[in-house]
Structure 1
Amino acid sequence: MKKGFLKIVVIVLLAIGLVTSLFPSRIAQASSTKTAYVDITSGKLNVRSGPGTQYKIIGSHKDNTRLTIYSQTKSGWAKIKYNKKNGYVATKYLRFYHTMSRSDAKSITDRAINIQDKIANNKTYTIKQIHQLQSPGYTSAYIDNLLTYDMTSHKKDKKGNKLYEWLATDFPMYRIWGFDWSGKEAPEKPSITYYTKDGAWYLKVYQYDKDDMYTYHQTLYLSKSSEKAAWRIYNYKW
Structure 2
Amino acid sequence: MRKILIGLMAFLLLITLVPAKKAEASTGHHTVNVKTTLNVRENPSPRAKVVGSLKNGAVVYVYNTEPGGWSKIKYNNKAGYVASGYLTPNVSSSSSPSNSGGEKATVTASPSLNIRANPSPKAKIIGSLKKGATVYIHGTEPGGWSKIMYNGRYAYVASSYLKKEAQESTYYSYGGYAYADANNLNVRATASKNGKVIGQVNRGYEFYVYGTISNGWAEVSYNGRTAYVATEYLYFY
TM over 0.5: no
Q: Larger helix proportion, structure 1 or 2?
A: 1
What's the TM-score, normalizing by structure 2? 0.31
Instruction: Find the structure with the greater CA-based Rg.
Output: 1
Q: Larger strand proportion, structure 1 or 2?
A: 2
